[in-house]
Structure 1
Amino acid sequence: MNKDYSWIVFSYKAPNEPSTIRVRVWRTLKALGVVYIQQSVCVAPDTVEVKKKIQSIKKLIESNEGESLFLEINKFTAETEEQLFELFNKQRIAEYEELLEGCKNFLNEIETETRKGKFTYHEVEENEAEFGKLKRWHKKIMKRDFFSCPNSVHAKQMLDECEQKFGEFIESVYASEGNVEGEITKD
């Protein structure tokens, strides 16, 4: 990686009670895509969104009698950064693999319904909801894919394939139901 990165190191000790604080902190940090280097010590690239959310978490912890330390690091050694890139991408690889599995399941469902001739509006609605979930999931992963994980390209291609196959399925439903998309029927 040729780009210079600045980093945030965040260490915290959340209060034992209420446990909802600990869970909220953990979930928020995981959603940001941080990498834990030790228990309750995480690292993230210094972006506006990450900084803002971690500072908010810091306030939450401290307002509930917990402890935290927010460090801004201008530069790590090249070796340390390389290790961090690997840790971040390892997490993203796992997330993309899970998404790819979801895409395969979606494509299998479309194929099964096509083979059975289940061309109904109900099936369109059901698959539309599932495809929407896949797109939102992909968007969340991309947001925390700070270092362009190699699996990102394959995930995008698979999502595009899902969209294409779903579009073809919708056309089959319209043809089966006797309507053309956008056509107004007279009663």
Structure 2
Amino acid sequence: MSQHAWIVLSYKVPSEPSTVRVRIWRNLKGLGGVYIQQSVCVAPDTAEIRRKIQQIKKIIDSSGGETLLLEATELSQHSEEQLVQLFNQQRTKEYEEFLDGCGLFLKEMESETRKRNFTFHEVEENEADLGKLKRWFRKILKRDFFQSSLENQAKSQLDLCEAKLAEFTDQVYRSEGQKEGKVLDEES
């Protein structure tokens, strides 16, 4: 017997313009939905997902497409386990890619530190990159309905990125602050 409630959206959209198909696909993937067949997407039944699926349904309907929205509350244990596994596989791929992104960020911090490239410009650039990582993590976390085993590792890596940027920023402040302080002292 099913432990979760699910929403199943089956849809057809006209082949042209392809932008509608792409928009629907992106929106459903952004929700964290899993395609079980072409144009058949499943997602956990939450208030937010239900609201967003209704918006997607309106887009499909207004583009001349067709939709069928099903609510599933009674799945066999095997079917539910398969669905949860599909969701977790998607999240694992996302977290692995995110961890690669964190690795690149940490290598950049290491490289700039090794080069002693302690400039305000580098701080700004790296702050922007860390901001992207934080937004990326929040998006994945929002879609991680069944707590992927990589969630904690991803959070730890993000925390490490934040700590390394703080260290780098402190080094830049000490380096540039001393230079600026000397210039100010000389001007006095």
Q: Secondary structure at the match of 2:82?
A: helix
Once the two structures are TM-superposed, the CA of residue 57 in structure 1 deviates from its matched residue by 1.1
| TM-score w.r.t. length of structure 2 | 0.92
Distance in 2 separating the partners of 1:105 and 1:80? 38
Match of 1:68 in 2: 67
Alpha-carbon distance in structure 2 between the residues aligned to 1:18 and 1:107: 42
Tell me the residue number matched to 1:133. 132
**Counterpart contact for 1:7–1:75, Cα < 8 Å:** no
User: Contact 1:15/1:61 (CA < 8 Å) preserved in 2?
Assistant: no
Secondary structure at the aligned position of 1:108 is classed as: helix
Rg larger in 1 or in 2? 2
Residue pairs, 1:125-164, within 5 angstroms: 125-164=124-163
**Secondary structure at 2:125's aligned position in 1?**
helix
CA offsets 1:96-131 (integer angstroms, 9 cap, x no match): 000000000000000010011000000000000000
Q: 4+ runs of 1 displaced by more than 4 Å?
A: none
Aligned-pair distance for 1:91? 0.3
In the alignment, what sits opposite 2:96? 97
Instruction: Look up the SS of the partner of 1:170 in the other structure.
Output: helix
Mapped partners of 2:38, 2:122: distance in 1: 45
Q: 1:131 corresponds to which letter in structure 2? A: L
Kindly, what percent of the aligned residue pairs are identical? Answer: 60
CA drift at 1:4? 2.6
Query: Which of the two has greater helix per residue?
Result: 2
Aligned counterparts of 1:153 and 1:32: Cα–Cα separation in 2:
21
Distance 1:113 1:121 in 2: 12
More off after superposition, 14-23 vs 156-165: 14-23
The question of 1:87 aligning with 2:86 is answered yes
Q: After TM superposition, list the pairs within 5 Å mapping 1:1-187 onto structure 2.
A: 4-178=3-177
CA distance in 2, matches of 1:26, 1:178: 50
| TM-aligned CA deviation for residue 54 of structure 1 | 0.9
Residue identity matched to 1:51: R
Measured after TM superposition, the shift of residue 65 of structure 1 is: 1.3
TM-score normalised to structure 1 length:
0.92
Amino acid at match of 2:82: Q
Secondary structure of residue in 1 paired with 2:75? coil
Gapped regions of structure 2 (runs ≥ 5):
179-183
**Partner Cα separation in structure 2 for residue 125 and residue 68 of structure 1:** 46
